[in-house]
Amino acid sequence: MPTVSVVTGANSGIGRAIAIHLAAHGHEVYGTVRDPNRAEKLRSMSADAGVEVQLVTLDVADDDSVRRGMGEILDRAGQVDVLVNNAGVGGNAVVEEATPAGIVDVVNVNVGGGVRCLQAVLPGMRARHRGAIVNITSVAGRFGAIAQAPYVASKWAFEGVSEELAFELAPFGIRVAIVEPGVTRSAIFAKNIDAPNQTGAYGDHYRRLFEFYAAGVAHATDPFEVAAVVYEAITTSTPRLRYPCSWGGPEIISGRRMLTDEDWVAMGAIGDDEEYRAEFLRRFGVDITPPA
């Protein structure tokens, strides 16, 4: 029997790449999408790759939708061997200007969505004493990325939930992997353009956020590289918990681990943009100078 894999948020970017890559490696893949009518590119790319990704309508933010969608997959496939929790949304705002409701909305998708889906497949995995859960977080789950409070809150939370999950599932033989991409080629950046700046005090912060995006997009990693990391995470004989990847991911995560908290806070106090970029490059080995 082929490995049955479910990839949430399979309609674009990283999710689409993962779904196609796993199908190309012989998996029976179910890709969840909110609207199958908007999945033309997924269908086209799957056909070009000579593979099939079976579409299932599912909104990870809604309990009933997840219940119906995951139930349909279990009815059709009989079991789920691999779940890739990829569906997610962005969210920009400095902490002072982030609304509690806005943070909750992002967390509901980026954390609650993953929890809803894994709760649907874990009983079967536990009974079979095997399976894999791959949670796609972000480099923003490992450092306090500027002016992205809702997104950072959600990704830090998903990191913590994933670490706990790995510990809890160890006795059942279920593998948990956290994949932490930096910047990949994805439509999320075109959608993630909010810069509230309601107080007028944080113009520098939002400018630096978008300069980081611009530098990242100019060097963005192909999402199929993330897909290859996911495949490695579920097949390797020497599994790890965390897999940083993509532009800036490994460097920023490693650099932040080497920084003291005091050094990190001191970076935030740098007022001059050129000095800030130079310090970021020195500390993290990543050039965040925006393209000319």
- Own/partner pairs for 189-195, CB < 8 Å, 24+ apart? 189/213, 189/216, 189/217, 191/90, 192/90, 192/91, 192/92, 193/92, 194/91, 194/92, 194/93, 195/92, 195/147
Instruction: Please report which residue ranges of 6-62 form alpha helices under DSSP H.
Output: 13-24, 40-49
SS3 state of residue 174 = strand
Distance separating alpha carbons of residues 60 and 109, to the nearest angstrom? 6
Which residues are tagged catalytic? 151
Distance CA 109, CA 204 (A): 29
Q: Which residues of 50-79 are buried (b: 16+ CB within 10 A; e: fewer)?
A: ebebbbbebbbbbeebbeebbebbbeebee
CA torsion through residues 279, 90, 18, 163, sign: positive
Contact assessment for residue 225 and residue 159, using Cβ atoms and an 8 Å cutoff: no
